[in-house]
Amino acid sequence: MTVLLTGCAGFIGSHVLDKLISMNEKVIGVDNFDPYYDPSIKYRNIEHNLNMNNFVLYDADIRNIKEMNGIFKDNRIDTVIHLAAKAGVRPSIDDPVLYEDVNIKGTLNLLELGRKYDIDNLVFASSSSVYGANEKVPFSEEDCVDWSISPYAASKKACETFCYTYHHLYDLPVVCLRFFTVYGPRQRPEMATHKFTRLIDEGQEIEMYGNGTSRRDYTYIDDIVEGIIHSAEIKEGYEIINLGNSEVVELRYLIKVIEESLGKKARIRQLPDQPGDVPITYADISKARSLIGYNPQVKIEEGIRRFVEWYISESATVHNSTFVQNQTTDAVQSADDAGRKEESYEMVQG
């Protein structure tokens, strides 16, 4: 099977890439290394796969239909796993047009190319944010999701609608996966788990929005990857599936677990609730269990322990790499300075 994996260098995408490579599937990876956060982080996520025979990387933008058409034309693609997107609720409020452009246009391009090149199926990364401020918990795939409270959520809901349309018109099999607060190694640096861990470790103040009682269905990356891989085996119909842990964790407890894993105490500054945030996310995963055998294994305490272990290792690696790079840069600059001094001396002597 040949899989087109968009967002292959990102947090979730790089873990899916690892899994597909280990399964000996051929992967056509697409990522535009968007500077939403440091692109060098994304390169580190996938550098160990760059020399694998079953992996081809394209530095391309899903909004560029000409580029994407060329990729489809040059590779016989069976399955598309579409993870690329502009992420984040709060940033989408500041720039909704960009979120519409990347998330909706990019997804529509892939659906159109999937139809044109007759792919077997497409897996789309949606989000639990589509449930908005739903008061009924846990959230079920059957719930009404017409009331988005952020442009990010609205863009994901629009993409689900386009996915259904392409299934209806062209019989394209599609699975839309609603992810619930994914965390783990390689998590984006601005996300709560990563940000809190870094700030607590550095002895800096963390900002807690609200009184700390907001609850999230934190889902460990390994469980999400298993759900994605099994969803890619569905080759008929149109499905929406929740992928969560089906256990809610208060913000205050998340901070406590991070403190215990780091062995350090948090300095907390309480701030008002933020626009677009919801009080709870909570997944009903009964459909995922029955349809794809989804069975999340990692509890929050173990997941945070693994994340902190990775964070400490990654911080040491980056520090050492930066030190070596700075030493090399200093040496090059010194050599350049010496060369300029020598050149100046020769000019004076001449």
CATH of the domain at 59: 3.40.50.720
pLDDT-based confidence at residue 239 (cuts at 50, 70, 90): very high
Structural domain of residue 58, as residue ranges? 2-180+220-245+282-298
Of the given ranges (27-36, 128-137, 324-333), which has the lowest mean pLDDT? 324-333
- Any domain includes 265: no
Q: Decide if 315 is inside a domain.
A: no
Q: Exactly one of 58, 152, 220, 282 is catalytic; which is it?
A: 152
In this predicted model, what pLDDT tens digit does every residue of 189-212 receive, in sequence order? 999 999 999 999 999 999 998 899
pTM, two decimals, is 0.90
| Residue among 15, 9, 190, 11 at smallest CA distance from 89 | 190
The question of whether 253 is a catalytic residue gets the answer no
Q: Do the domain assignments include residue 72?
A: yes
CB 122 within 8 A of CB 163: yes
List the beta bridge partners of residue 126: 178
Instruction: List CB contacts of 251: < 8 A, sequence separation 6 or more.
Output: 192, 208, 210, 212, 213, 214, 215, 216
Report percent pLDDT > 90 for the chain. 85
Q: How far apart are CA 258 and CA 206, in angstroms?
A: 12
- Beta-bridge partners for 270: 208
Q: What's the number of CA atoms in the CB half-sphere (13 Å) around residue 339?
A: 6
Question: Does residue 270 lie in a domain region?
Answer: no
Residue 320 lies in a domain: no
Residue in 123, 112, 56 with CA at minimum distance from that of residue 83: 123
Residue 322 lies in a domain: no
Confidence of residue 329 (pLDDT cuts 50, 70, 90): very low
User: Is there a domain that residue 291 lies in?
Assistant: yes
pLDDT band per the 50, 70, 90 thresholds, residue 344: very low
Residue 235 lies in a domain: yes
* 107-150: pLDDT as tens digits: 999 999 999 999 999 999 999 999 999 889 999 999 999 999 99
Q: Coil, strand, or helix at residue 288?
A: helix
DSSP letter at 9?
A: T
Question: Structural domain tally of the chain?
Answer: 1
Tell me which residue of 123, 19, 31 sits closest to 80, measured CA to CA.
123
